[in-house]
Amino acid sequence: MNRALRPALALIFALSLAAGAWAAPAFGPYAFRAIALAVPSRGASVPAILTLPDKAGALPLVVMAHGHGGSKEENGGFTAIAEALAARGVASVRMDFPGCGASTEAFTANTLTNMLADMEAARAAAASRAPIDAANTGVFGYSMGGRLAILSAARGYRSMGLLAPVGTDGPDAMFAFMGGKDSYAGYAAKAKAEGHVIFTTPYGQVQDLSAKWFLDNEAAKGLAAIATFTGPVLIVTGGADTIIPAPVVAATAGAAAASSGIEIVTVAGADHGYGFYGGDPALKAQTVEAIASFFALTLR
């Protein structure tokens, strides 16, 4: 269902958090604090941030998954979402996937298999540090993180938020990002022959992609996974997003379970950065507001 975007409650996300310090709310009645975690997963230490509202009782939780080559901050975009959730009384945990942000692992460990494991480990770590309501947990993912969120559909989440998700099956949704179908095929063939391949993203990041990265993405069945999810689903897309264009969003939404109550929000003028990486700050504000308000409504 398409709808007009709710007006942003604020355009500025300028709260500065020292680890563990309470901060004043910008979007709701609750103060909050951010706690740095080192989450054990797969024999590695995964950097994560747990953001907690100053609220009594069991807390709803959102597990957040960043995009390909991004970070748990996403240049402040994920930080703003976590703070907006906490101000509304919703906790969140977000982590750096292998080779990203503060991770000390090589990018060759950046595979769907490992990232899914890290999400579950971070979820468990959050529950060990705070009174999390296990039956009242949502999952959120941006771009490749959206693929991870969808593939997590069967893991007991109550609602799912997706920002420009890699939501279709196999590698097709990655073709535009990697220079087209033929270009993708060339990278995949080299990685499978040599164990890895060096790839430079459209944003100038140099990444060492493993053969397992390609195999995991080729085996991904996002459409089947989202079809099994019966909770509420939000997809936020950008009117100028050419990395995850409208046909990918439409296919993802079309496969969602009929009972999910899927909602599509289009941020007019937003490219794949959604204001997180410069441009009009109103785009970031609108994106953050859509996501935070969705989880505040669906997690109680």
pLDDT in tens, the chain (300 residues): 333 333 332 222 222 223 344 454 556 689 999 999 999 999 999 999 999 999 999 999 999 999 999 999 999 999 999 999 999 999 999 999 999 999 999 999 999 999 999 999 999 999 999 999 999 999 999 999 999 999 998 999 999 999 999 999 999 999 999 999 999 999 999 999 999 999 999 999 999 999 999 999 999 999 999 999 999 999 999 999 999 999 999 999 999 987 778 999 999 999 999 999 999 999 999 999 999 999 999 997
**Which of these CATH numbers, 3.40.50.1820, 3.40.50.720, 3.40.50.800, 3.40.50.2300, describes 32-169+220-298?**
3.40.50.1820
Beta strands in the chain (DSSP E): 32-41, 44-53, 59-65, 91-95, 132-142, 159-163, 196-200, 206-210, 233-238, 263-267
Greatest Cα-to-Cα distance within the chain, rounded to the nearest angstrom: 55
Q: Tell me, what DSSP letter sits at residue 242?
A: S
> Facing residues of 197 across strands?
209
Residue corresponding to tokens 């087209």: 180
Looking at the chain, the domain(s) classified CATH 3.40.50.1820 span: 32-169+220-298
